């Protein structure tokens, strides 16, 4: 299940033009652990939404996925991660 803070969603929509709710629609091509954070385990997923490349930063809380950020992926990121399933 996807869960997120409505205020965080509004910020993501203003900054990146997409709702965190769309994370549920992502066709994930690759997911990697983001080791830059020590306070909690975070991940980055690269995949497609409506045929366009996106990057999702998220964490897991119990059985729930909590999106942190959803934005268009850069070509360089998709080249590096996009074909790893």
Condensed to tens digits (0 to 9), the pLDDT of residues 8-30 reads: 999 999 999 999 999 999 999 99
| 8 Å CB contact between 48 and 56 | no
In this prediction, the residues of the chain whose per-residue pLDDT falls under 50 are 85
In 1-85, where do the E strands start and end? 27-34, 42-49, 52-61, 64-72
- Across-strand partners of 48? 27, 53
| 8 Å CB contact between 30 and 47 | yes
Model confidence, pTM: 0.88
| 8 Å CB contact between 4 and 21 | yes
Q: Which residues contact 27 (CB under 8 A, 6 or more apart)?
A: 47, 48, 49
Parse the chain into domains and list their residue ranges: 6-81
């Amino acid at each position: 299940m996807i869960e997120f803070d409505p205020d965080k969603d509004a910020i993501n929509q203003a900054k990146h033009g997409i709702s965190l709710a769309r994370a549920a629609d992502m066709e994930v091509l690759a997911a990697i652990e983001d080791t830059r954070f020590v306070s909690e385990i975070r991940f980055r997923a690269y995949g497609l939404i409506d045929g366009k490349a996106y990057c999702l930063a998220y964490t897991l809380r119990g059985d729930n996925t909590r999106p942190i950020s959803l934005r268009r992926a850069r070509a360089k990121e998709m080249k590096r991660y996009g074909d790893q399933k």
